[in-house]
Structure 1
Amino acid sequence: MSDESRGLAVSELPEAPDALRPMARQRLYEQVLERLREYVATAGLRAGDKLPAERELAQRLGVSRASVKQAIVVLEVQGAVEARHGGGTYLVRDGLEVEPVDALVERRRRLPDVLEAREALETKLAELAAERRTGEDLDALEAALDHMREEIAAGGRGVEGDRRFHAAVTAAAHSALLAEFMRSIADQITESRTESLRQPGRPNRSLSQHQSIFDAISRGDPRRAAAAMRRHLRTVAKVRLLSWNPDDEPA
């Protein structure tokens, strides 16, 4: 019996775009990731230990070397391993608990908008902070710098110190509306902060850039403060995630 004879033309079928979206095909490298996670756990590997070479992994798993390489790239993107040129791949932390690839894909999709908003808002906040900061504001900025410095010295990434510093710049701008805008995207900012600070060498570079922002604010130089914040946020935007193609795998 045709749709027309049932009284419902094909063109009149109810729309349900979410229910009838294309079915996702599990990527082969996602299976490789799961096997690597199991291997690291059962072998008891810890931070600083070396993974088997890509060629060996491909042979043992029965997959192409390209699929293994893509899995390693995903681990690099998440800051779980460090691939040293010509020297192999090493664990950055104990174990290999990694984010689902779909979560990475979603963050990759929204991150550019977050970074664009941060540059627009925080550049202006730094400029205003240089004009309006009080002695108390400068004390808060210095305390945030000290906290980040201590975190990094203890082997951390300085995430909390970074958060405190940017919050102190926002407070020093004394703009209620801009502060409200920043609160409205706080979760997205946290994602971008975490993504940035897990890049190799990034914590110390960010700390140095924070110092430059502080120096300009302390001197009451709005133009230099804005320029220093813009340079910093463009560094924040340089993350491996944005150059990663989740579908870059041979058939």
Structure 2
Amino acid sequence: MSDALRPMSRPRLYEQVIDRLRKYVAEERLGAGDKLPAERELAQRLGVSRTSVKQAIVVLQVQGLVEARHGGGTYLVGDTLDAEPVEQLVERRKRLPDVLDAREAVETKLAELAAQRRTKADLDAISAAVDHMRAEIAEGAHGVDGDRRFHAAVTEAAHSAILAEFMNSMAEQITESRTESLRQPGRPSRSLNQHVAILDAISLGDGRRAASAMRRHLRTVAKVRLLSWNPEEGDEGAAGGDARE
């Protein structure tokens, strides 16, 4: 059968809820720290179930656009709800585990080699990256650029052209995993502390300790809400109807 006649997809109901919330935030000129209406109120005003509203909120949380406080409502993190299209989010969710596996395998070895081969200039570069990330976090940012510099400096310190080339080939996917990890609540400061532990091990020339510290760090990086999100969960719209409460 021609691919042109494959079944047509339609927007999930929670995607429509997200779009309505985006327009609401823009029209009401809400900004970072402002509270969204309660889920029950949103469900009533939109004419959908609370399940669809909850799923929309989860997607916005996964993207770091809102913060849901237990028993305290949902608050904007920034000034907009310009969410990434759900299909793109689904694709990232599919490829992220492979990226994280590759990072652990390669960067653990890079940390070990860096401890064995680093020069004073290498140590200075890794230390400067840690300082840069610390300054970013102090200013309220996630420390993304400092994190990028840190891992690039460790790669450089390993003095392995082949492994560096492999890391470069994964640059786009690594950037995705970095951004995903650092927007988890409390993650920037935790990652910074782990970077310090890796730097200390490399400074001491302890390859085994450096590899272990990098492995612990990358397993923390792998703990992201995106991987626990089920894009089909609670989507009454995909089944052909919405059971209102």
Unmatched 5+ stretches in structure 2:
237-245
Q: CA deviation at 1:226?
A: 0.2
Q: Report the CA distance shift for 1:19/1:213 in structure 2 as closer, same or farther (over 3 A).
A: farther
Unmatched 5+ stretches in structure 1:
1-14
Q: CA deviation at 1:19?
A: 4.0
Q: Deviations over 1:133-153 (max 9, x none)?
A: 000000000100010000000
What is the count of residue pairs matched by the alignment? Answer: 236
Q: Distance in 2 between matches of 1:25 and 1:61?
A: 18
Is it true that 1:56 corresponds to 2:41 in the alignment?
A: yes
Q: Distance in 1 between matches of 2:209 and 2:188?
A: 22
| Bigger Rg, structure 1 or 2 | 1
Q: Distance in 2 between matches of 1:164 and 1:135?
A: 17
Is it true that 1:90 corresponds to 2:50 in the alignment?
A: no
Q: Which amino acid aligns with 1:110?
A: R
Q: Distance in 2 between matches of 1:50 and 1:25?
A: 30
Match of 1:90, SS? Answer: strand
Identical columns (%)? 78
- Taking the TM superposition and a 5 Å limit, the aligned residue runs for 1:10-25 are 19-25=4-10
Tell me what 2:175 maps to. 190
- Taking the TM superposition and a 5 Å limit, the aligned residue runs for 1:23-62 are 23-62=8-47
Tell me what 1:154 maps to. 139
Q: Which amino acid aligns with 1:176?
A: A
Q: Distance in 2 between matches of 1:90 and 1:19?
A: 42
Q: Higher RCO, 1 or 2 (CA under 8 Å, sep at least 6)?
A: 2
Instruction: Decide whether the 8 Å contact of 2:17 with 2:52 is kept in 1.
Output: yes
Q: Report the CA distance shift for 1:139/1:108 in structure 2 as closer, same or farther (over 3 A).
A: same
**TM-score normalised over the length of structure 1:** 0.92
Compute the RMSD of aligned alpha carbons: 1.0
Q: Distance in 2 between matches of 1:151 and 1:66?
A: 37
Q: Distance in 2 between matches of 1:143 and 1:165?
A: 8
Is it true that 1:114 corresponds to 2:99 in the alignment?
A: yes
Tell me what 1:227 maps to. 212
Q: Which amino acid aligns with 1:25?
A: R
> 1:126 pairs with 111, 121, 131, which one?
111
Q: CA deviation at 1:246?
A: 0.5
Q: Distance in 2 between matches of 1:212 and 1:24?
A: 48
Q: Distance in 1 between matches of 2:5 and 2:166?
A: 36
Instruction: Decide whether the 8 Å contact of 2:39 with 2:50 is kept in 1.
Output: yes
> 1:75 pairs with 60, 65, 90, which one?
60
Tell me what 2:242 maps to. none
Q: Report the CA distance shift for 1:134/1:87 in structure 2 as closer, same or farther (over 3 A).
A: same
Tell me what 1:241 maps to. 226
